[in-house]
Each structure stands twice: as structure tokens, then as C-alpha cells.
Structure 1
Amino acid sequence: MTRLLCLVLLLASCLPAIAETRYSGEQTLWQDTVWSGDILIDGILTVAPGVRLEIRPGTTVRFTFFDSNGDGIGEHEIFIQGRLLALGTAEQPILFTSAETAPRPGAWGAINMMASEDDNLLRHCVVEYAYRGFHAHFGKGRIEDSLFRRNLRAFQFQDSTVRVSRCRVLDNFNGLQFRDATVVLEQCRITGSQWAIRGIYSDLTLTGCLIENNRINAVSLRESTLVAEANRIIGNRRGIFLQRGKGTLRGNRIVGNAEHGTFFEDSEVILRDNRITANGRAGIRWLDSQGVIAGNDLSGNGEYALMNDGSGDLQVGSNWWGSVDEKRIDQLIRDRRDRPETGLVRYAVPLSGKPSAGPTATPLLPE
């Protein structure tokens, strides 16, 4: 009898938790709904236009795995056309996860906002093992104080307006990717991704974030606008890449990235009061761009403080190069004197020492 009881308990532990509410197949919520307890999504659940889904603290939402085309990606998800309010607390977060006993990233689809113009809000949520943790297409959303981990893509936006505040984005294949979007990231930590942030045709405001130890770029934007202040961009392959865009960077620490700390191509850039040091190849790579470079700490980078790879000359303001000796500063700059096809770099009287720290932001949430 004792052995039989142990066997039953063992088998029960291998099964998904028994759900208090279950949705199977393709279903639609046609009226305002409140969830609590354990919810199982065994299909695609749509929240109709004009309908509100509210999820209470401590709720667990699980998704079964279904792969119709054999690509290894789960397809069961929540499809929001109305409004989602997932309001957990620090003590009782809301969990969105896989129903599998041994899940992997991509085991379910997404929290999917489609043509949802209401102000969708996730607060104190944990989102894990999804294909796209939070996906917005023609939508609006705020995500606060939440954890996104082990998803294929933590966030994906298109034609949307999204604000992400005080969130941790940890060990996803990619962190955030977006196009034609307006995105605000504040006091977030993004680590352990291939690409931390990728965007095109978008406006990104980045304030007080820590973006560290991502395997490719920390921030990669094309034909976009970037405003970055008081961020720490540390230990990635590359720091910030901006192509055919506009950027204002002030008071950031861009330190210890394996290749370039910053790379600007065919862009308009204001680069003031940043610490851009200890990057493997160069602090700044400048290609056919224009703008202001002044008040920065450019000391201690691996090969060059500044590389001018464009055909035009570059006038640089007063910065700290790690030295005030002109011969030494010349060695830290790659320009026409090294490569005849590129422009010259002319610099103002260098700063006599490291500039004072730029603006600081509220400390990040503890891990």
C-alpha cells in the first residue's frame, strides 16, 4: 500500500498542476472576466474588443504545448484585442509559464496584443518559456516591476507604444526587438541575450538601465531616434550601434565591451559627458556621421579612443583621452594619418583629467 501511494504521488508530481479554470481549443471572452488561482490555456484564447481581462495577484497561467508546423515553437497563447490588466504584487506575482514538466524557451506563444489600443498593464509578473513573452502589434502597453526570463524573445513590438519600467530581462535568446514603435525603457536590466535591444524605424528612450553581458549588441538601431541617459552598458560584444539615425547620449557608462563601445554610421549624434572606457577595440567608431563629441572620458580603450572611418573631417570638442600629450592623443585616434581614404580628426584642448560624473538614475531593482 505504501509503495502504491508513493507511485501515485510520483506520477502526480510529473503532471501539470490541476487548473481551477481551463480553456481548450479556440475560445473567446465576450464579457469582462477576472482570473485567480490556476488557469490552463490549452488552445488560443481571444479577449474580444471592448472586453477587459483582469488577473489577480498570485495567479498562475499555464499554456500547453502545441506545434502544428513542426518548427518546435508552441502556438497556444492569449490574444488580446480588448484590455489586459495583470496586476500582481511583489509578494504575490502573476506567473505566465509552460504547462510542460520540462519546458524550454518557445514552449508557448505569447501574451499577444493585437489592435489593442487600451492601456494594457502588466505589473509584478513573471513571464517565462514563451516564443514572445509580450508581443504588441498596433497596441499600447505598460510593463512594470516584472521578470522576463528564458523566452525566445522577451518583447516584440510593431506599430505600438510601450513603456517598460523596472523590469529584469534575463537569459532570453533575444531581449527586445521592435519596428515602427515608440519605446521607453527605464531602470531595467537586460542580460544574457544574443541581442539585447534591436529596433528599426522607431523612437527609443533609454534611462537608468543596465545592459550587460549580451553576446552581440547591447543596443542596435537603424533609421531610429535614440535618447540615452544615465545607463550602464557593460561587457557586451558591442555597446551602442546607430545607423542612419539620430542620437543623444549623456551621462552613460559604456565600459568593457569586447569590440566598439559606440558605433555611429551616417547618423546625427550628440555625445556628451559619457564614460566610454576599457572597450576592446575602440571607444567610438565614427562613419560618415556628424554631431558633437565633448566632455567624455575616452581613456583606456584597447586600440583607439576614436576611429574616424568616414571620408569627412571630424571636429571634436574637449574630452579626456587619458593624457594631455598631443603625440599620445594622436596615437589614440585613427584617421587620415593612418588611412588616406578617411577624414582627419581635429580636437579641442583636451580636458586635464577625468570629467565629473554625469547624471545618475535611481538604482536598479535588486536581482
Structure 2
Amino acid sequence: MTQTGCQQLFHAQDAPLKGQTVTVSMTVPQPPPPAAKPLQQGAEAPAQQKTAQQKPLDSRLLPSEAAVNNDPLSVKPQPDAPKPDLSKPVRSAVEKADTVLVNKTVAEDLVLRGTVLIRGALVIAPQATLRIDPGTQIRFAPGPGSAELAHLVVQGRIVANGTVQQPVVFAPALSDSLAGDWGGVVLLNSEKKNSFDHCRIEGAQTGIAAHSSRFSGRGVMVSKSRTGIALYDSEASLQGCTISRCDRGCRLADSELDLRDSTVRENRQGIVAQHSSFTLSSVKVLSNSQEGVSADQCRFRLTSSLFAENRSGVRLTGGDGQLFLCRLSQNRESGAELVGVKIRINNSSFIQNSGVGLLLENARGSVAGSVFDDNRGGNLHNRGSEPFAALLNWWGSADETQVAAGILDPERKQDAALVLFVPFLKERPVTAP
């Protein structure tokens, strides 16, 4: 307000504020603070924001370790809690059962149904028969105070009547069965009509071990066991069975086996036989890490069967037999190895094996009407001194030079061929699988 304006208010003749005391206050606005500017990348912070670097304290001023341990108020480091071992599965035990049998010998006929827990051994005397109803689950655990594996020992007769919908189960009294959790079913000097229909056996030392006994089986499944089925001076007839994930699928010693419409797969060894007689008909022997079939001094008949993705499909040493309408393919080594054996092969296929299709060593016999093709190590190799007739086969080509190139015969260079392959087929036979 100018001075003229003040005179008009206070000193003029008709001033409205003449003679009055007026208090006037004024607010002077402050200028806004300057806006903060971001520091440039890599720029040094202002000097007032720097903190002085602290020097380490003299160790003589720090408490000693002994003083800390003796101080009740000090915080002491606690040892780490042990970590659980996750490599071993935590398995729960089967405790509840409809029937519990502890180291029992049965002298009269017995029927089992529901859930049965056997502790130790259940022995069926020679005069008794054990019948097992469909859907029965039989679990095995060691006996009280014993570390021995539990067994079902049959001297009399066993009739396991499972069905497709309600199989009979033989398993350990533990979840997630492992091989060798229990002993297995033992047939001991039992030549009666023992039968296993639609049974599932798992986690055993030996699923079914027959000693001087006889039995039949239909729809039996044995898995995760050391040995699936073992025959010692025994006879067995099995149909529609599956033996898988065992160290050894089948073991035969001085025995007879008739196996039909079945599968032996994903074992370490498929079928191992010594001084035995066996027939395989419509059997699939697949993905065993070693031989699909290994037989020593046996009589054999292999018909309409598949041997694939094993180390070797078939290895036969000594003995005699025949191979008919079989397919040996995609094995990691040879399709078939025949050592000192007498054999007749008809209408079979040896294809796409990583080794030799058919490897001979002092083997005698013949192969006819069969297919040899696309075996990386050669179609046929005779590394012995016995002649072998390989006439009228298809070798993947109609050119004789190419056919001869796939047949490894060291004696051929001396004009004394041991493998006779001419005449050969000009096209693939329709009868070969």
C-alpha cells in the first residue's frame, strides 16, 4: 500500500481509521527448495554423506572363546539337525489283517480269503490242500524275533483261484515292494495238481520255486523279485504269464517248461536253462539287459516268438532243437548265438541287430525259408569248423555279390566254404515274420 493510501485511511479529515490503532501482519512467501538432482552414473557422493571407514577393534578388547562358552547369557551356535535320507523310500507296514498266521503248519485242508498276514512260515503238510479265494491278499513278514524271510511252503497241494478282476496277491507286508522282501512260494516234493490262476507275486526272493514238483499257471504276473520262477527237477506249464523286472526271469535246472502266450521282459536275464527241456510258443522276450534266452545242454522248441531289444536274443550252447516262425530283431549284439548245438531253423527273421544276425560256432544244422537283412555286424558268421546249410533264404538282395558280402565265412578264401547259401531266394518269403 502506498503512502497516499495510508494518509487517506489515517490522517485525512474524513479518514475511516483516524485515531484508531491497527495491527497489520504480513506473510512473506519463502522460495521453494531447489529440486534434488540425481547423481550421475559413477559420480561420487557428496562429502557430507560419506561415512568414515571404521578401523577393526583391537582383539584384546573382544571376549575370548572360553569366556563366551562360559557366559550363560551368550547365544551358542546350535548343531544342524540331521537331514532325512531321501534316497531310501519310507515304506509303511501292513498291520491289520483278517487272518494272522504265525509259524503255522497246516495238517488239514485250509481256505484263505480276505487279507492274510503270515509271520514266519506257513507250511502245508503233504495230506492237506490250501485253497485261496479270488481277491485274497497274502502278506508276508518275518516271524517274531527272527530275521529270516517268510515263506509259504507247500508239501501237499495249492489251488490259487484268482480271476482277472480279482487276482490273488502274494506280496510283502510293506508298501512299495522290493526284491527279496520275503522268501516266496516253495513247492516241495509236491507232484499233485498245483495251480496258480491269475496271481500277482512281487517282492520275493523267488516268486515260485519248485523242487521235485509239478504245477500249472494261467495269468500269473511275477515282478520285482530276485528270480521270477525257478524249477529244480520239476515240471511247469504256464500260459498268459508276465515275468518282469527281476534279476532272472526264469531258471530251469533238470526241468521241463511249457511257456505259451507270455511275456518275459525288462529282467537282467530272461530265461536261463541247464540240462532241461523247454518250449516257447508265442512268447515275447523283450528288453532284457543280457540274453533273452540262455540255454546249456538243453532240448528246445521255439515257435512264433519274438526276441527283441535284448543284449543277445538267443544263446544256445550244446543240446538240440528247432526254431520256427520266430523273429530276432533289434538286439544290441547278435540275434542268435549257436555254439556246439544241433538245430533246424525255418521261416524265421534275423533283422536289424546291432551285431551278427546269426552267429555260428561249431553248430550243425540248417536254416531255410528265412530272412537275413540289415544286421550291422553281418547277416551270418560261421567262426567254427562245422559246415552249415543256409540255402533258400532271403538276404536282403538279389545280387549274389552283395549276399556273399554279408556272410562271414573265413574258410571261403581257401575255396572250402562252410556256409552254403546258393541257391538263395530272390524276394522276401511271405511266411517269415
- TM-score normalized with structure 2 length: 0.76
Which residue of structure 1 lines up, in the alignment, with residue 139 of structure 2? 62
Is 1:18–2:96 an aligned residue pair?
yes
C-alpha contact (below 8 Å) 1:317/1:347 kept by paired residues: yes
Distance 1:262 1:62 in 2: 41
- Give the partner amino acid of 1:168: T
Which residue of structure 1 lines up, in the alignment, with residue 371 of structure 2? 297
Distance 2:431 2:374 in 1: 17
Which residue of structure 2 lines up, in the alignment, with residue 354 of structure 1? 428
Which residue of structure 2 lines up, in the alignment, with residue 92 of structure 1? 166
Note the C-alpha offset of 1:64. Answer: 0.7
Distance 2:175 2:398 in 1: 62
Is 1:114–2:185 an aligned residue pair?
no
Distance 1:101 1:288 in 2: 50
CA 1:330 to 1:24, structure 2 compared with 1: closer, same or farther past 3 Å? same
> Could you tell me the percent identity over the aligned residues?
26
Is 1:50–2:124 an aligned residue pair?
no
C-alpha contact (below 8 Å) 2:186/2:210 kept by paired residues: yes
Is 1:30–2:107 an aligned residue pair?
yes
Q: Could you list the per-position Cα deviations for residues 191-218 of structure 1 after superposition, in whole angstroms to 9, with x for gaps in the alignment? A: 1101000000100100001110000000
C-alpha contact (below 8 Å) 1:271/1:294 kept by paired residues: yes
- Give the partner amino acid of 1:84: I
Note the C-alpha offset of 1:313. Answer: 2.8
Distance 1:301 1:214 in 2: 19
Which runs of 5 or more structure 1 residues have no equivalent in the other structure?
A: 1-12, 360-367
Of 392, 397, 412, which residue of structure 2 is paired with 1:318? 392
Distance 1:82 1:304 in 2: 53
Distance 2:144 2:371 in 1: 51
Indicate the SS of the match to 2:401.
Answer: helix
Which residue of structure 2 lines up, in the alignment, with residue 195 of structure 1? 269
Q: Equivalent residues in 2 for 1:99-248 (5 A)?
A: 99-248=173-322
Q: Could you list the per-position Cα deviations for residues 65-89 of structure 1 after superposition, in whole angstroms to 9, with x for gaps in the alignment? A: 479998xxx6211000000000111
Q: Equivalent residues in 2 for 1:243-258 (5 A)?
A: 243-258=317-332
Note the C-alpha offset of 1:151. Answer: 0.9
- TM-score normalized with structure 1 length: 0.89
CA 1:266 to 1:52, structure 2 compared with 1: closer, same or farther past 3 Å? same
Distance 1:234 1:102 in 2: 29
- Give the partner amino acid of 2:136: T
Q: Could you list the per-position Cα deviations for residues 175-234 of structure 1 after superposition, in whole angstroms to 9, with x for gaps in the alignment? A: 001110010010101111010000001001000011100000001100001101100111
C-alpha contact (below 8 Å) 1:311/1:343 kept by paired residues: no
Which residue of structure 1 lines up, in the alignment, with residue 13 of structure 2? none
C-alpha contact (below 8 Å) 2:92/2:174 kept by paired residues: no
C-alpha contact (below 8 Å) 2:177/2:202 kept by paired residues: no
Note the C-alpha offset of 1:122. Answer: 0.3
Question: CA RMSD, aligned part only?
Answer: 2.0
C-alpha contact (below 8 Å) 2:211/2:232 kept by paired residues: yes
- Give the partner amino acid of 2:354: G
Q: Could you list the per-position Cα deviations for residues 267-297 of structure 1 after superposition, in whole angstroms to 9, with x for gaps in the alignment? A: 1100010011111111101111111111110
Distance 2:407 2:144 in 1: 53
Q: Which protein has the larger Cα radius of gyration, Structure 1 or Structure 2?
A: 2
- Give the partner amino acid of 1:128: E
Which residue of structure 2 lines up, in the alignment, with residue 8 of structure 1? none
Q: Which has the higher contact order (CA 8 A, sep 6+)?
A: 1
Q: Could you list the per-position Cα deviations for residues 241-263 of structure 1 after superposition, in whole angstroms to 9, with x for gaps in the alignment? A: 11111120000111111111011
